[in-house]
Amino acid sequence: MNQYVTGAVIRGLREKNKMTQLQLAQKLGVSDKTVSKWETAKGYPDITLLEPIAKAFRISVTELISGNTIQNANVSANMLRSMFYICPVCGNVIHSMGEAAVCCHGIQLTPLVAEPTDERHMIFTERVEDEYYVRIEHDMTKEHYISFVAAASSDEMKIAKLYPEGSAEARFKISGIRRIFFCCNRDGLFSIDPVKGIDDRESGYDDSQERRELEKAAGMLFG
């Protein structure tokens, strides 16, 4: 986190708002030369100007100082766009339905970007009655482990906390699950679409709409 608003942030916000230095200066009651000084790191705006600057850009003072502006439109619209913030110091997991300015242990956290699974982080998803039984093939030592598994539908998010020395598995009711996330404390966040991306082809039967249609067509062609 920046300790104070920087010239680069002011310039970035000014350009984003399609304002000239003069237009911003007039809103704040300073000269355009002053704005130019801030933007070229030759001076800082006085603390009494932080609120007017934030107001000019229609953001909060916190966002202005952190340099992290938040743009959420209708955050509750889709749980699949969820963000996970994880504190690298204590491992705290913060789930958010949209972008947020999140701090833990004095660190401004950025949302983790979920990667597709890789050969060291394989997920096996099996349907057991009305549940997904999810297993991740991975170490569960104190140093390197899967810290949580989460299942998202469009309107629900379920998070299962996992612990070192425990097993890397969880169960989720299938209803509407569209995305499964899991997090490795060292390698970060991974996600799969459980309908399209089942790693274990033998136990995970693919019964997507696409598959059913193909089977139907095959049935008509070949009896």
Q: Using CB atoms within 10 A of its CB, is residue 182 exposed (0-12), middle (13-18) or buried (19+)?
A: buried
CA distance 65 to 119: 41
Scanning 28-36, 69-77, 185-193, 201-209 for contacts with Fe ion by CB under 5 A, the matching segment is: 185-193
CB of 96 to Fe ion, least distance (A): 23
Which tokens hold the place of 162?
């996992």
Nearer of residues 21 and 117 to Fe ion, judged by Cβ: 117
Nearer of residues 10 and 192 to Fe ion, judged by Cβ: 192
Scanning 8-16, 78-86, 172-180, 184-192 for contacts with Fe ion by CB under 5 A, the matching segment is: 184-192
CB of 210 to Fe ion, least distance (A): 31
Q: How many residues bind Fe ion (CB under 5 A)?
A: 2
Nearer of residues 187 and 193 to Fe ion, judged by Cβ: 187
Determine, following the binding rule CB under 5 A, whether residue 137 of this chain makes contact with Fe ion.
no
Q: Are 21 and 27 in contact (CB under 8 A)?
A: no
Q: Which of 184, 189, 192, 198 binds Fe ion (CB under 5 A)?
A: 184
Q: Which of 187, 195, 197, 199 binds Fe ion (CB under 5 A)?
A: 187
Across the chain, where does the E strand assignment appear? 83-86, 93-96, 102-104, 107-109, 122-128, 131-137, 146-152, 157-161, 169-173, 179-184, 188-192
Q: Are 146 and 140 in contact (CB under 8 A)?
A: yes
List of residues contacting Fe ion (CB under 5 A): 184, 187
